[in-house]
């Protein structure tokens, strides 16, 4: 399934490429019902829209059932970094919710990491300019 698209700039900003987010949901040892698939896709879509600055391009969700353990794993690919999450519980819907919470924490951490790097570069440039002017 294909969801929102972003324009990614390369180099000096003259070249742009439109990238659309792709979501794939697969089941390991279980057939994924339409209801569970739709629930997971809606949760992921909401998460990605909330953290659009990460520009997620591809998400792969794997659901697994072994006895009473329902496991949900997700891989998120973005130009900044690839993220991975895993949640296990006795209910598939609870596992999906736990996974979304974990992925959101990773996205918040990624944003703050990106902001710190961006901010530190501008501070060092200002320091160098100040040294040259003096």
- For the segment(s) 2-133, the CATH number from 3.30.160.100, 3.30.565.10, 3.40.50.720, 3.30.70.890 is 3.30.160.100
Burial (CB < 10 A; 0-12, 13-18, 19+), residue 116, is exposed
Confidence at residue 60, expressed as pLDDT on a 0 to 100 scale: 94
Question: Are the C-beta atoms of 61 and 73 separated by less than 8 Å?
Answer: yes
Confidence category of residue 55, pLDDT binned at 50, 70, 90: confident
* In 21-91, alpha helices (H): 34-50
Closest Cα partner for 43 from 117, 89, 104? Answer: 104
Helix (H, G, I), strand (E, B) or coil at 48: helix
Residue 127 has pLDDT above 90, yes or no: no
Angle, helices 92-133 vs 34-50, to 10°: value is: 20
In tens, the pLDDT along 60-107 reads 999 999 999 999 999 998 887 899 999 999 999 999 999 999 999 998
**Cα torsion for 27, 31, 36, 42, to the nearest 10°?**
50
pTM summary value = 0.74
Cα(61)–Cα(33) distance, rounded to whole angstroms?
A: 14
């Amino acid at each position: 399934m294909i969801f929102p698209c972003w324009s990614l700039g390369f180099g000096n900003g003259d070249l742009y490429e439109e990238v659309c987010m792709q979501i794939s949901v697969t089941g390991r040892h279980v057939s994924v019902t339409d209801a569970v698939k739709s629930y997971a896709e809606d949760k992921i879509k909401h998460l990605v829209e909330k953290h659009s600055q990460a520009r997620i391009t591809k998400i792969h969700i794997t659901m697994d059932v072994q006895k009473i353990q329902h496991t949900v794993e997700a891989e998120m690919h973005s130009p900044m970094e690839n993220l991975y999450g895993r949640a296990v519980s006795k209910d598939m819907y609870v596992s999906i919710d736990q996974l979304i919470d974990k992925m959101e924490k990773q996205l918040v951490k990624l944003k703050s990491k990106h902001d710190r790097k961006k901010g530190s570069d501008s501070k060092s440039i200002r320091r160098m300019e100040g040294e040259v002017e003096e």
